[in-house]
Structures are given as structure tokens and as C-alpha cells.
Amino acid sequence: MIKKVGVVGAGTMGAGIAQVTAEAGYEVILIDLEDKFVNRGMENILKNWSKAIKKGTRTSEEVDQIKVRLTGTTNYDNLNDCQLVIEAVVEKMSIKKELFAKLDGICPVETVFASNTSALSITELAAATKRPNQVIGVHFFNPVPAMKLVELVPGAETSAETVTAMKEYCSAIGKEAIVVKESPGFIVNRLLIPYINEAAIIYDQGVASPA
């Protein structure tokens, strides 16, 4: 059972994932390479909660309870008792593989590794670990607190148990998860990119002008 979640990468996506995960009752470790990145991510989360209090969608007491579950750090050893670690680092295969290999030596053997990649091969990422059956893609959309859809992307060796665990996690944080076959761009980006390209062509041909 997932009780503690690590989120690696405190940028826009990572901070959003950490926020909704803490709000759902999980203990969360938000981690990045430098304190300035961690602090920025934590500040953005706190700003979102302050806005929620002003709007009346959350009370200050609720936010105080949620804050206790969220910890920001640069120490990767703090991930050593997480049941799930989600990476939201730069979209570069070599960096993600290096991270997963590092996590493999820190986290318990039962820990699931998830990648927020929007296009990279989960099978290739999983090959950097000794637990390819416990590696899966979990593609959130921006802004994470508002967007309900999540693409779950099993790799070639991802187990059914891992998929089920991630479905349960997504449901717990209020997301609608769809399981997507591993392919470039998955579903949403494969639809979005041609749409953007066609808009550029329409503009280039003078069919329409910018709004």
C-alpha cells in the first residue's frame, strides 16, 4: 500500500504533483538538486494554498494539516522509505535513466518508480533499474491541481500489479487515469502536436491571422 510518495523535480509539474498528493493524505517528499529549486517549488505550493483559503475552498486549519505531510529537501536518502517515487525532471532520457539507477540503490525493492515523461520510452527508462516490472509512465497535465486526466503508460515489463497500484493512487488524488500503450507522444500529445502544426500552416498560408 502506498503511504509515502517521493517527487523528484520541484518545478511546475513536480510541485503540482506534490501538492495534490499531499492534499490526498499521503506523506510527500519533494526533492531537487539545489535548495533554491526546492524552496521555489514549496513557495508555489504555499501560494496555491493561500489562494484556496482566500477563495474559501480550503480553511487555514485544513492547509495547516496538509503542510505537515509535505517536506522539501535535497537529500535523496529521504526517499528510502517511499512506496512510490515519481520523477518530474528535465525531459532527457540520459538524465532520467541516471536518476532511476540512483533511486534503485536507495529505495526498497518494492518501491514503484513512475515517470512524468510526455513522450520518452518507459521500457528504455525501466532498463536502467533492477525492477523494470515496477516502472511505469504517469503523465500528468499542467496545471496539475486543475487537470483531471492522467496517462498511465506501462513499459514492456510493467506488471499488472504496478498498473493497479497506480490506478488506485490516481483515483485517490482525484485524477482520471487512462492506460495508454507505449508509443511516441502517447495519446494527448499525438493529438495536440498535429493540431498546433495545422494552426501554424493556416497562419503561414494567410488563411487566418493571430488572435
**Positions marked active-site:** 118, 139, 151, 189
* Cα–Cα distance measured from residue 191 to residue 171, given in angstroms and rounded to the nearest whole number: 24
CB within 8 A of 148, min separation 6: which ones?
Answer: 174, 175, 176
* Cα–Cα distance measured from residue 127 to residue 144, given in angstroms and rounded to the nearest whole number: 28
Residue 208 CB-half CA count within 13 A:
7
CB within 8 A of 198, min separation 6: which ones?
Answer: none
| Cα distance between the two ends of the chain | 49
Cell (9 digits) for 200? 501554424
Cβ count within 10 A of residue 120: 18
